[in-house]
Structure 1
Amino acid sequence: MKRQWMVFGATLAAVACASARAGVDLSVLDKSMAGPRAQVLVLGSVHLSGMKELQPGALDPVLERLAAFKPDVITIEGISGEGCDLLARHPAVYPPDNIEPFCANPDAARKATGLDVPSAIAEVNRTLAQWPERPTAAQRRHLAALFLAANDSSSAVVQWWQLPEAERHAGDGLDDALVALLARRGSRNNESDQIAARLAVRLGLQRVHPIDDHTGDNVTVADETAYADAIRKAWEAGRVKAKPMRDREEELKKAGDMLALYRYINSPEVLRAVVDADFGAAMREPSPQHYGQFYVAGWETRNLRMVSNIRAAFRERPGARVLSIVGSSHKPWFDDLLGRMQGVDIVDAEKTLGGR
């Protein structure tokens, strides 16, 4: 009897292990859901800040196709004011020198409005909850000032650009320093402004949503030089296969054909080459410390947190049409992770851009 029980116990254990491996199939959870499904378009982008030769109007064909998608939520690859405030409060964990490129100094906006970042975020939320259908110029100037104080400059630009030229002046929380800041933002090559903010203005949206996060990719290693050398060698190993793709990308940039460029970098074939040359090469990196795995783990943690921020941006909006603009290396992770969300469909970026 004792032996039979042991055999039966082993059988139960095997069944339990099989069940654990099978898990729960979440892909069917929304099969019979009530209500509309969200449509999410992830646009892989080049970083326009590196394109000094970008001509005025070159992005218009791209904007035309994105406008046809009619997004009502637009997210950008920027750290939110809340995220920057968190980083600033933990300088021992997140060195200020590392964060400075990603987070603007909100002191000028705080001086003009009297609001620190948390207070400004709360005031932005309260203002948008009561936002009128036809806001006055004074209301737009005030909201632009609030966005700057909340360290969300791209959303401030959205409000600024919806003002008539004659109304783009100081007042209602904007002082001369903030007006000058908004003018500078409008002239910079930056996909968060030149694509996302311009599209938001065109569609009558009130803001964009910064969703970047660097709290999970600050990899801690004992020997930073050895880590950097290992990752550099991995990239060098993957560079040969990626060279034709990089060369074609540079050709399209120099030609100024931005629509063709965006079609190209959003094609599955190119994205596969990008991922293999960078992260695949890192996974093949042979250091005894497995530094390549450190690197990829940090990258995946960042993408997970970014995607959770995107999900939060349309959490209370079933059926939302969401455009997420992000560096093209993120796109495979975004498509995969967002595609696992309940009630969410991924829109084909290449098809949206007219590539096939």
Structure 2
Amino acid sequence: MMKSILTNLLIVAGLFTLVTQAQMKKTEVLILGTQHLHHIKGFEKPMLKNVISKLESYNFDVVCIEKMSGELLNDIVFREDRSFDGITKGSFGHKYLAVADTVQKVKKVTFLEAKRNIEVLKSGKKLSPQERKKLLFNYLAVTDVPSAALQYEYINSDKIFKTNFEKYIAGLIKEEIASNNEYYSLAGSLAKINNINKLEPIDNFQDEALLLKYYPEFMNDFKNYGGKFKNINMLPVYQKTNELTQEGIKSNDLSNLYEFLNSDEYVKQDYDAQWDVWHKTNFPSGSDRARHSLWEMRNLQITGNIMKVAARNSGKKILVIIGASHKGFLEKYLNQINDVKVLKYE
């Protein structure tokens, strides 16, 4: 009898341990450093075939991209601070805000209504083309053009866009997709493979705006005292990056470039070349140290946004596709978080 009780207790304890381990499975995050692909002359999407195949093996649940959220963009607009015009009137925000404003007016939907609609629609297991079209327009209403483009690719037909306005929007999205931005050529491709309905925006581009607001003399300082940055493109780390890029264009395969951008060698050399140097330039105003501090701030904010995504996806696998210079900073912060396991691109 006693043996039977002990056996049952051991079985229960074992099951409890298994359940606890399942509940405590860490959230896994891979930071994929990338070049900004639309800047690469001659880039074509098939060059990423092997990179995508490698990433596919991870079976990611969430894909994050280097874009600001609609909430943050609108917050900056409502500040009415000209210091941030570079964001709201530049490439980081203008087209997203303009499309959102137009869609809200034509479709008669507010930002908050669109947010609620998105949560309902994207949770569906199998969306019809009509549901995907609704989701597409709601994404546009909250500035999320990349996720709208993802829905457009799922729909895979222009016939569903009936009105002149809908056809106009479909045309805009096709132009976006054709731009070869990593949002579409890389993140969107992986999202489709894993049946993901949203590309999560995790960036915060306010660092340079704040730098020029606090230190309007920065550009003059850089011109007069920034000699250490002269010929920075000739440093071995960037020469190798350029060589691997050109080799990848010729061979129609950028795999070796991505291996290098995500290596410890690149992370260290890029930090020494681009960031540690700010502590050695000795600008009279101190704007050089501020440049580094605000870069750290931006990466801390990005990490915070990644953790916001992680909070809604505990125990899942998250891919973050972002400029390679961010990789070392983000991994440094994420490695300090007990509930996160940082994955390697290997």
Give the TM-score range, shorter chain. Answer: 0.7 to 0.9
Matching residue of 1:281: 277
Q: Quick one: distance in 2 between partners of 1:90 and 1:101?
A: 19
Query: 1:244 corresponds to which residue?
Result: 239
What is the distance in 1 between the residues matched to 2:140 and 2:303? Answer: 24
- Check 1:174–1:347 CA distance in 2 against 1; reply closer, same or farther (3 A cut): farther
Aligned residue number for residue 301 of structure 2? 305
Letter in 2 for 1:252: E
Change (3 A) 1:235 1:121: farther
* Cα displacement (A) at 1:94: 3.9
2-structure distance, mates of 1:312, 1:283: 31
Secondary structure at the counterpart of residue 175 of structure 1: helix
Higher helix share: 2
One-letter identity of the residue aligned with 2:195: G
Go from structure 1 to structure 2 and tell me whether the alpha carbon gap of 1:290 and 1:237 turns closer, same or farther (over 3 Å shift). Answer: farther
CA, structure 1 residues 221+61, in 2 after alignment: closer, same or farther (shift >3 Å)?
same
List aligned pairs for 1:306-345, cutoff 5 A.
Answer: 306-345=302-341
* Alignment match of 1:154 (pick from 142, 146, 156): 146
Indicate if the aligned counterparts of 1:249 and 1:265 stay in contact, CA closer than 8 A: no
Closer, same or farther: CA 170–151 of 1 in aligned 2, 3 Å: farther
Counterpart amino acid of 2:139?
Answer: F
Describe how 1:76-91 pairs up with structure 2 within 5 A: 76-91=65-80
Give deviations 1:170-194, integer Å, cap 9, x for gaps. 46x9722211112112211101111
Does 69-78 or 285-294 show the bigger shift?
A: 285-294
**TM-score, normalising length: structure 2:** 0.84
Q: Which residue of 2 aligns with 1:268?
A: 264
Correspondence 1:165 to 2:157: yes
The answer on whether the counterparts of 1:230 and 1:292 sit within 8 Å (CA) in structure 2 is no
Does the alignment pair 1:66 with 2:61?
no
**Secondary structure of the residue that 1:59 maps to in structure 2?**
helix
CA–CA distance in structure 2, aligned partners of residues 250 and 198 of structure 1: 21
**Root-mean-square deviation (CA), in Å?**
2.4
Q: Distance in 2 between matches of 1:94 and 1:236?
A: 28
Where in structure 2 are the equivalents of 1:116-135 lying within 5 Å?
A: 116-128=110-122, 131-135=123-127
Paired with 2:165 and 2:49, the residues of 1 have a C-alpha distance of: 30
Gaps of 5+ in 2: 1-20
* Partner SS for 2:161: coil
Q: Secondary structure at the match of 1:314?
A: helix
Gaps of 5+ in 1: 1-31, 352-356
TM-superposed deviation, 1:287: 1.9
* Distance across 2 between alignment mates of 1:237 and 1:59: 30
Residues 201 and 94 (structure 1), Cα distance of their counterparts in 2 relative to 1, 3 Å cut: farther
- Alpha-carbon separation, structure 1, partners of 2:144 and 2:332: 28
Of 98, 121, 128, which residue of structure 2 is paired with 1:136? Answer: 128
Q: 1:258 aligns with which of 254, 260, 281?
A: 254
1:56 to 1:325, Cα distance in 2 relative to 1, 3 A: closer
TM-score by length of 1: 0.82
User: Deviation string for 1:254-306 (max 9, x for gaps)?
Assistant: 43431111111111112211111100111211223232211101101000101
Report the equivalent of 1:177: 168
**How far is the alpha carbon of 1:345 from its aligned partner?**
0.6
What is the CA distance between 1:223 and its match in structure 2?
A: 1.5
